[in-house]
A and B are shown apart, each in its own frame.
Chain A
Amino acid sequence: MFLLNKTKNNKNVLPSLFHLLHLSHKFSHQYTTITTTTTHPPNLIIDNKWEAIIGLEIHAQLSSKTKLFSNSSTSFQKPINTNVSVFDAAFPGVMPKLNSKCVDLAVATSLALSGNVQLISSFDRKQYFYPDLPAGYQITQHYEPLSIGGKIALSHLDGLEYETEVRIKQIQLEQDTGKSIYDIKPGFALIDLNRAGIGLMEIVTEPDIRSSKEAGLILRKLQNILRAVGSSDGNMEEGSLRCDVNVSVHQVGTPFGTRCEIKNLNSVKFLMEAIEVEIKRQINELRIGNRIIQETRGYDVVKNKTFRLRSKETDTDYRFMPEPDLPPLILTKEYLERILNASPELPDILKTRLINKYNISLKDVKALMGEEGGVEYFEKIVQYRNRNPKLVSNWITQDLYGFLNRKNIKFSKNPVSIEQLGSIIDCIEIGDISGNIGKQILAQMISGDTRLASVIIEEKGLKQINNITELETICQDIVMQNTENAKLVREGNQNVFKWFVGQVMRITKGKANPQIVNELLQKLLQ
């Protein structure tokens, strides 16, 4: 199993798993069913001449509880050098043991990106000396990665005016390094190995990106997919998602230019800025007749400039070698099906489904998806009593979000239950209360009232007055008492008409059915 397979070159005999991806409808792409006007890519050519070619290399920390090859915790907030086992510190005599949870997460991610998960993949050592790399090598998947191919599509759903697709080259599992800390004790490099050995997915795109905007949207979208799958929290500030970018420019119609890699871009904003300035830099260099030298660059946020880190000539030779302590990772089709069936719905498919099924706007869908659990909350309220989806989404995205926001409460801590918000909508629907009263009740619920709307209405006597005779009397009284104003209305002053409505509402404490009041007053003031 181990020894005998190690030398096999499996590359050409690996079974294709494409057919497997069609087993479930979950991941079949349905964008085409959305009716939108087809838009063509705008001219991405700079100054009628230059085109930028961009590819991303993304490292996403896996959200497994333990590390990729040891039982140490991956918890973020632990004292320095406490999440460290003998394996993580590369003591003599230790051996790696693959964490199956990490494989589950990476496979789910790959399937979500339409990747071709390899039934046989293997691990390699990438060798270089660095104080925060205890073994002197990183275990990665260089020769036979976990997944090959895949794609991320962008469209108006993501905020792009046209449609484009960025291919994924491969996805591989690998170890994170420790951290070197240089600024605490001058002259010393302090090493924290808590991060050493945490599982990473390296996701490499093909050079299919043409602008900083596309790059930013791809990174955002990937972030959303990782979160939807649950494979990584995708948090760039905490470093659980890191991004390097390759940029080259060339004149249209000529071969691609020499690329430069910009390392360690730790936000979407910086990624986009770095690409912008790097494209400008390269075009300027070429314009004045210089060559672009293949090199690794950094991005200075303050100066908004990229700068040389090292040239290709001084690059390390990583001396990749198959990891002899780990047998090949062999997956079965049954396993892939199991992971596929357990996977949650992906953002694009969810968006399309919500738009098609409930006939609500993309803006509302995005707002619902913008909050963890928002879509579920919405769907439950709609489905429970077959309520009007448009109405429900308005109540959630405008009124509920608005109140929560004002009170600085996160949606995850939303005190209004599905039944409560549903009861408000129902009470309005059957005419028990007006929309305004509904908002008052919602405010009361957010302040901690856990009762249903109907109970609150009953107790406070907020029930709407629908009795025409009763309302007619009130309206007649008001018109009689304000003959001057009535005259103005009859002359066509609509503002004064609104004043009459307000008077009725004042007298009835807002309980009068506004529609009936409107009709009655119109009749009386004709």
Chain B
Amino acid sequence: MKILSGSNNVLSNFKKSRYKLSSKTRQLSLLSITEANKLLREKKVSATTLVQDCLSRLKKYNAQVNAFIEIQKEEVILQKAREAENRINEGINNKLLDGIPIAYKDNFCTQDLTTTCGSNMLRNFTSPFNATVVELLQDAGSIIIGKTNMDEYGMGSANLYSAFGPVYNPHKIISDQESNIDKYEKRVAGGSSGGSAAAVASGMCFAALGSDTGGSVRLPASYCGVIGFKPSYGLCSRWGLITYANSFDTVGIITRTVDDSQLIFDIISKYDEKDSTSLSPKLRAFNSLISYNSPLNKNEPLDLSGLRVGVPKEYMVSELSEPIIKLWKKGISFLKSQGATIISVSCQNIKYALSTYYILAPAEASSNLARYDGIRYGHQSEKNLSQLINNNENTELLYANTRDEGFGIEVKRRIMLGTFTLTTGSYENYYLRAQKIRKLIQLDFNKIFRRQNPLQQYFQYFINQNNNNNSNNSFYKKEGVDVLITPVTISISPKISDYNNNNFLNFYVNDIFTIPANLVGIPAISIPFGKLHNYPIGLQLMSQYGDDLTLFKVAKTLEQI
């Protein structure tokens, strides 16, 4: 269904969608959730029409882009759409996401669809339970449209390491309304949540969940021209999100507007007792108290006066290309023009972030992936099975064959690396040192931000309260910044042909701007900000732990440009 913009139709009253098309025509499935919701409520569009529009795009583009590993059965989707329609028509039990099609990265456990993690190991695996965030979004009325492609177990930044084939950047065929991607030199969608970013960018769904361990949501969002949000660690439950590296993994949100991102975030940012690293209700309340005392609280939406924006020196790395630096500067000037104060900041230890990440994350991964042994679920090797029987000693051979066949090259590489760093002798030299540096980087960031870290302030606050020395002023320092602005990536989406197996180390560099937020646990968002060579590119904002709302506020301003 196509709607002409500018004519006297239902869309004329809407804020212009941030997703810009070169064409004058706009598609229903490229609206924001906020816009679609309004159409649905006003009964100008039915939920069935909405999902059918997504499905038709999915059919048209997925074969080109390879965004989905599994698509929900059409009759199931239409049935859910009718149920949502009935709820809307009856005006009862209206839910925030009634009838909105959503996709999930294939590392979120779902009972209805397989959950493969992009791996041969789990090619036919169906989880007996739903991830908590999947439950929350379903309860909000949304419809699962399918499971998106990804780098195997989340390990990769180009989405080339999937057992189900690479995801291709959909930008050109969408903007040119082409139907054959082979016309272009293929570029990567980014990873590891490449399928989620490509699906949202090409209008196959309204939002998608990804996971962000080292930039896996922000990077593909930047390459595909959508919003990629990584919340503060511990706000969204990881129960049912298949782990890559537990202390880094966060649920990530990919949408076409910042408002949509915030809407999804509001729904899934809930305490979950099943996740022991989920922020407790007490700490959430305390965090809100800090936000309530924010000096920026009285600002009107989009008014940035009083906002202090930091530009970290260390982000000016040699790999950064001139056009990206220009874009970065443009972003800085824009925020300044909106009333923000720009401050240069330094975060000394950030230069170690990449190495720290590539020691700690593989260590956790090597441990997490030990469970894939072919005994209880997933792939089991049939090689030499007759030999293995009658020889108890040979269970190790069964494991080796199973894991050799089930895991791809990058996963094996990281398991080996992680196993090495945890070995006696290396543990002290690598793992422990990396943990210490991680702590130092956390301290660096705490120094940079004006807002205090609620995790550190919590106990102090109650000690003060007991001493009747209750001062909320201590929540914000006099100095310090509210947000940091940086590039997300060192370049636009690279060509597939640039990648080969011998230069994999060079591609670890792609994560250089995104990894610090994961090391520290702070929120970060990638917002599309201009184009280079006709490919989108994003800027990144980061804020103090728990200050996700300020991030949204500034992102909404930046989104206007």
User: Bound state CA distance, A317 and B423, in angstroms?
Assistant: 7
Would you give 30 A-B contacts (Cβ < 8 Å), ordered by A? A1-B455, A1-B458, A3-B277, A4-B439, A4-B456, A6-B247, A7-B436, A7-B439, A91-B127, A91-B128, A92-B243, A93-B115, A94-B239, A95-B238, A95-B239, A95-B274, A96-B276, A98-B276, A131-B375, A134-B371, A135-B370, A136-B367, A137-B367, A187-B391, A189-B392, A317-B423, A319-B366, A319-B423, A321-B367, A326-B276
Contacts of B263-319 to chain A: CB distance below 8 A: 273-277, 283
Could you say which residues of chain B place their CB within 8 Å of the CB of A96?
A: 276
Q: Which residue of A lies closest to B436 (CB)?
A: A7
Q: Which of A95, A129, A131, A317 has the most CB of B within 10 A?
A: A95
Q: Tell me, rounded to whole Å, the shortest Cβ–Cβ distance linking B397 to chain A.
A: 11
Is A90's beta carbon under 8 Å from chain B? yes
Q: Are B376 and A92 in contact (CB under 8 A)?
A: no
User: Bound state CA distance, A89 and B125, in angstroms?
Assistant: 14
Q: Are A92 and B395 in contact (CB under 8 A)?
A: no
Is A325's beta carbon under 8 Å from chain B? yes
Could you say which residues of chain B place their CB within 8 Å of the CB of A93?
A: 107-109, 115, 127, 129, 131, 239-243
Contacts of A168-182 to chain B: CB distance below 8 A: 182
Q: Are B438 and A7 in contact (CB under 8 A)?
A: yes
Could you say which residues of chain B place their CB within 8 Å of the CB of A131?
A: 373, 375, 395
Is B422's beta carbon under 8 Å from chain A? yes
Is B166's beta carbon under 8 Å from chain A? no
| Mask of A242-259 contacts with B, CB within 8 angstroms, 1/0 | 000000000000000000
Q: Are A324 and B247 in contact (CB under 8 A)?
A: yes
| Mask of B372-404 contacts with A, CB within 8 angstroms, 1/0 | 010111000000000001111001100100000
Query: With A91-B377, A92-B115, A326-B276 known to touch, is A86 a contact of B129 (CB < 8 Å)?
Result: yes
Q: Which residue of A lies closest to B437 (CB)?
A: A7
Query: With A91-B128, A326-B276 known to touch, is A8 a contact of B422 (CB < 8 Å)?
Result: no
Could you say which residues of chain A place their CB within 8 Å of the CB of B371?
A: 90, 92, 134-136
Q: Tell me, rounded to whole Å, the shortest Cβ–Cβ distance linking A310 to chain B.
A: 12
Q: Tell me, rounded to whole Å, the shortest Cβ–Cβ distance linking A466 to chain B.
A: 73
Q: Which of A4, A8, A94, A189 has the most CB of B within 10 A?
A: A4
User: Bound state CA distance, A31 and B373, in angstroms?
Assistant: 54
Query: With A3-B234, A3-B247, A6-B435 known to touch, is A129 a contact of B128 (CB < 8 Å)?
Result: no
Which of B233, B245, B427 lies in contact with A320, CB distance below 8 A?
Answer: B427
Range class of the B interface residue count: 35 or more
Could you say which residues of chain B place their CB within 8 Å of the CB of A6?
A: 247, 435
Is B521's beta carbon under 8 Å from chain A? yes
Is A125's beta carbon under 8 Å from chain B? yes
- Extra inter-chain contacts (7) besides given A86-B128, A93-B131, CB under 8 Å: A2-B276, A91-B129, A98-B276, A131-B373, A182-B392, A191-B375, A321-B367
User: Bound state CA distance, A325 and B399, in angstroms?
Assistant: 25
Q: Are B242 and A127 in contact (CB under 8 A)?
A: no
User: Bound state CA distance, A94 and B242, in angstroms?
Assistant: 8
Q: Tell me, rounded to whole Å, the shortest Cβ–Cβ distance linking A122 to chain B.
A: 12
Q: Tell me, rounded to whole Å, the shortest Cβ–Cβ distance linking B18 to chain A.
A: 32
Q: Are A136 and B373 in contact (CB under 8 A)?
A: yes
Q: Are A90 and B422 in contact (CB under 8 A)?
A: no
Q: Tell me, rounded to whole Å, the shortest Cβ–Cβ distance linking B394 to chain A.
A: 10
Q: Tell me, rounded to whole Å, the shortest Cβ–Cβ distance linking B520 to chain A.
A: 8
Q: Are B376 and A89 in contact (CB under 8 A)?
A: yes
Contacts of B65-105 to chain A: CB distance below 8 A: none
Q: Which residue of A lies closest to B125 (CB)?
A: A92
User: Bound state CA distance, A129 and B458, in angstroms?
Assistant: 40
Contacts of B226-263 to chain A: CB distance below 8 A: 233-234, 238-243, 245-247
User: Bound state CA distance, A327 and B438, in angstroms?
Assistant: 17
Could you say which residues of chain A place their CB within 8 Å of the CB of B366?
A: 319
Is A97's beta carbon under 8 Å from chain B? yes
Is A186's beta carbon under 8 Å from chain B? yes
Contacts of A100-143 to chain B: CB distance below 8 A: 125, 127, 129-131, 134-137
Query: With A3-B234, A131-B375 known to touch, is A324 a contact of B128 (CB < 8 Å)?
Result: no
Could you say which residues of chain A place their CB within 8 Å of the CB of B277?
A: 2-3, 95, 324-327
| Mask of A81-92 contacts with B, CB within 8 angstroms, 1/0 | 000001001111
Q: Which residue of B lies closest to A136 (CB)?
A: B370
Could you say which residues of chain B place their CB within 8 Å of the CB of A384?
A: none
Q: Which residue of A lies closest to B453 (CB)?
A: A4
Q: Are B274 and A97 in contact (CB under 8 A)?
A: yes
Q: Which of B127, B376, B396, B458 has the most CB of A within 10 A?
A: B376
Could you say which residues of chain B place their CB within 8 Å of the CB of A1?
A: 283, 455, 458
Q: Tell me, rounded to whole Å, the shortest Cβ–Cβ distance linking A301 to chain B.
A: 22
Q: Which of A93, A98, A127, A182 has the most CB of B within 10 A?
A: A93
Q: Tell me, rounded to whole Å, the shortest Cβ–Cβ distance linking A138 to chain B.
A: 11
Q: Are A90 and B376 in contact (CB under 8 A)?
A: yes
User: Bound state CA distance, A94 and B371, in angstroms?
Assistant: 11
Could you say which residues of chain B place their CB within 8 Å of the CB of A321?
A: 363-364, 367, 422, 427, 431
Q: Tell me, rounded to whole Å, the shortest Cβ–Cβ distance linking A377 to chain B.
A: 43
Q: Are A129 and B521 in contact (CB under 8 A)?
A: no
Q: Tell me, rounded to whole Å, the shortest Cβ–Cβ distance linking A95 to chain B.
A: 5
User: Bound state CA distance, A94 and B274, in angstroms?
Assistant: 9
Is A188's beta carbon under 8 Å from chain B? yes
User: Bound state CA distance, A186 and B442, in angstroms?
Assistant: 55
The 8 nearest A-B residue pairs measured at CB: A136-B370, A324-B246, A319-B422, A187-B390, A7-B435, A324-B247, A7-B439, A90-B371
Could you say which residues of chain B place their CB within 8 Å of the CB of A7?
A: 435-436, 438-439
Contacts of B101-131 to chain A: CB distance below 8 A: 107-109, 115, 117, 122, 125, 127-129, 131
| Mask of B191-234 contacts with A, CB within 8 angstroms, 1/0 | 00000000000000000000000000000000000000000011
User: Bound state CA distance, A188 and B439, in angstroms?
Assistant: 48
Q: Are A8 and B439 in contact (CB under 8 A)?
A: yes
Q: Tell me, rounded to whole Å, the shortest Cβ–Cβ distance linking B396 to chain A.
A: 7
User: Bound state CA distance, A136 and B275, in angstroms?
Assistant: 20
Contacts of B407-425 to chain A: CB distance below 8 A: 419, 422-424
Could you say which residues of chain A place their CB within 8 Å of the CB of B390?
A: 186-187
Could you say which residues of chain A place their CB within 8 Å of the CB of B521?
A: 3-4
Could you say which residues of chain A place their CB within 8 Å of the CB of B234?
A: 2-3
Q: Which of B367, B389, B423 has the most CB of A within 10 A?
A: B367
| Mask of B355-368 contacts with A, CB within 8 angstroms, 1/0 | 00000000110110
Could you say which residues of chain A place their CB within 8 Å of the CB of B431?
A: 321
User: Bound state CA distance, A129 and B373, in angstroms?
Assistant: 8
Q: Which residue of A lies closest to B424 (CB)?
A: A317
Could you say which residues of chain A place their CB within 8 Å of the CB of B424?
A: 317, 319
Query: With A89-B376, A93-B239, A136-B373 known to touch, is A4 a contact of B128 (CB < 8 Å)?
Result: no
Q: Are A187 and B389 in contact (CB under 8 A)?
A: yes
Could you say which residues of chain A place their CB within 8 Å of the CB of B274?
A: 95, 97
Q: Tell me, rounded to whole Å, the shortest Cβ–Cβ distance linking B137 to chain A.
A: 16
| Mask of A183-202 contacts with B, CB within 8 angstroms, 1/0 | 00011110100000000000
Q: Tell me, rounded to whole Å, the shortest Cβ–Cβ distance linking A286 to chain B.
A: 29
User: Bound state CA distance, A131 and B397, in angstroms?
Assistant: 12
Q: Which residue of B lies closest to A189 (CB)?
A: B392
Contacts of B442-494 to chain A: CB distance below 8 A: 442, 453, 455-456, 458
Q: Are B376 and A4 in contact (CB under 8 A)?
A: no
User: Bound state CA distance, A280 and B416, in angstroms?
Assistant: 44
User: Bound state CA distance, A374 and B168, in angstroms?
Assistant: 77
Could you say which residues of chain A place their CB within 8 Å of the CB of B128?
A: 86, 91
Q: Are B375 and A327 in contact (CB under 8 A)?
A: no
Q: Which residue of A lies closest to B245 (CB)?
A: A324
User: Bound state CA distance, A331 and B310, in angstroms?
Assistant: 39
Q: Which residue of A lies closest to B364 (CB)?
A: A324
Q: Are A129 and B399 in contact (CB under 8 A)?
A: yes
User: Bound state CA distance, A365 and B391, in angstroms?
Assistant: 55
